[in-house]
């Protein structure tokens, strides 16, 4: 993939830009195999490659420049806006939306936030595109002062971008390096974006996490379902369940059959999304709760431990406490999906009773060193 921004030194976020894509995938596979080699992986399935470009379903852009000439992209070392509206890893739907949104910023007089001077209102723009081409557009503001103007002019934006389903304002008053704040104001009648993967429809609320690469996420969930089907667990926990991707795929298409699945997630917004998806699919044997994954496991009575545990933690991994709990449990299988193979290896080292019987790399983040790796762990037979 070629990128004029990278070649000009304007954006270096995609650190592998210029390397051939097959060599990127091969290097990621080699790294995963090296890190997991001490644990004796039974079968390495071939890596799942992505499209080289246009793969992101969420564009997280900093707004800079001026109200009459806003930039949508990143900031340079001096805090000035660098426009990246033609970014090649964003989806075509994103690129088509950036122009109308830039014009809307001018129309609604949304002054870009000036980081060095700590003045202005509009900090970030977060645009998510569904597999059906619908958009969720979120404006991250320093305060609620511009909300009335956004409401007033919103019909103009919706007329120019008729595929926009959800528009919201996120309020981030603090001057700190985070993407969004806690307070969200939804301005449209629709409050969720439908994300249809395989035969499962998930409902994404503004503050809910969703995998960045739709095609690879679909492959990941489908593979998880295939691996689990042969195990036929009667019950499963999906820890770090997010909007329910793994849990809803493991539930199967019969609402009264399949494993009893419990999803645990700290984000209340994500749990609300997952519950809506469960209700729409009438899955009576699936439930979601808001809570800490480790605390949930440690507090559960031993008699309620499931046949299978699914974990899809953040980059830090599941940590010492949950690893120790799994190691001491009688749970036979663990499905571990990791976005950081280094922390995965550390967690596996704390669970010597489990052996990875199969593993696969999913290239969720082309042009970067990051990737997803999923492994199925099986408790070793007692000698």
- Residues annotated as catalytic are 339
Nearest residue to 71 via CA among 80, 79, 82: 82
What radius of gyration, in Å, describes the C-alpha atoms of the chain? 22
* Number of Cα atoms under 13 Å in the Cβ half of residue 259: 26
Q: DSSP secondary-structure letter at 114?
A: B
CA 65 to CA 367: how far, in whole Å?
27
Evaluate whether 239 touches 300 at the Cβ level (below 8 Å): no
Strand locations in the chain (E): 43-44, 58-65, 70-75, 81-83, 122-129, 135-141, 164-171, 183-186, 193-197, 200-204, 235-239, 260-265, 286-290, 308-311, 333-338, 354-362, 372-379
Give the relative orientation of helices 21-36 and 341-349 as an angle to the nearest 10 degrees.
10
Residues forming a β-bridge with 9:
none
CA 249 to CA 225: how far, in whole Å?
6
């Amino acid at each position: 993939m070629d990128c004029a921004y990278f070649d000009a030194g304007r954006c270096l976020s995609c650190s592998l830009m210029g390397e051939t894509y097959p060599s990127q995938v091969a290097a990621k596979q080699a790294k995963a195999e090296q890190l997991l080699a001490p644990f004796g992986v039974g079968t390495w399935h071939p890596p799942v490659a992505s499209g080289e470009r246009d793969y992101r379903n969420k564009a997280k852009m900093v707004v800079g420049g001026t109200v009459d000439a806003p930039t949508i992209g990143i900031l340079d070392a001096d805090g000035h806006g660098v426009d990246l509206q033609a970014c090649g890893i964003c989806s075509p739907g994103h690129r088509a939306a950036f122009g109308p949104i830039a014009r809307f910023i001018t129309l609604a007089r949304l002054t870009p936030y000036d980081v060095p001077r700590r003045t202005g209102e509009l900090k970030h723009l977060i645009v998510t595109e569904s597999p059906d081409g619908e958009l969720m557009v979120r404006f991250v503001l320093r305060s609620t002062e511009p909300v009335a103007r956004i409401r007033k002019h919103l019909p103009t934006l919706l007329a120019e971008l008729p595929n926009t389903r959800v528009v919201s304002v996120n309020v981030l008053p603090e001057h700190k390096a985070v993407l969004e704040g806690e307070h969200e104001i939804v301005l449209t009648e629709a409050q969720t974006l439908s994300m249809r993967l395989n035969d499962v429809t998930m409902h994404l609320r503004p503050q809910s996490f969703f995998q960045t690469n739709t095609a690879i996420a679909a492959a990941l969930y489908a593979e998880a379902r295939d691996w689990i089907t042969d195990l036929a667990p009667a019950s499963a926990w999906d820890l770090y369940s997010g909007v329910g991707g793994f849990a809803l795929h493991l539930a199967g298409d019969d609402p009264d059959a399949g494993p009893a699945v419990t999803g645990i997630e700290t984000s209340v917004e994500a749990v609300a999304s997952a519950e809506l998806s469960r209700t729409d699919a009438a899955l009576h044997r699936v439930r979601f709760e808001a809570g800490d994954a480790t605390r949930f496991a440690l507090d559960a009575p031993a008699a309620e431990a499931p046949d299978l545990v699914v974990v899809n933690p953040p980059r830090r991994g599941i940590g010492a406490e949950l690893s120790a709990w799994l190691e001491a449990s009688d749970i036979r299988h663990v499905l571990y999906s990791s976005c950081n193979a280094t922390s995965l290896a550390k967690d596996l080292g704390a669970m010597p009773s489990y052996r990875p019987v199969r593993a696969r790399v999913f290239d969720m983040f082309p042009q970067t060193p990051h990737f997803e790796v999923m492994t199925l762990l099986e408790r070793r037979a007692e000698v």
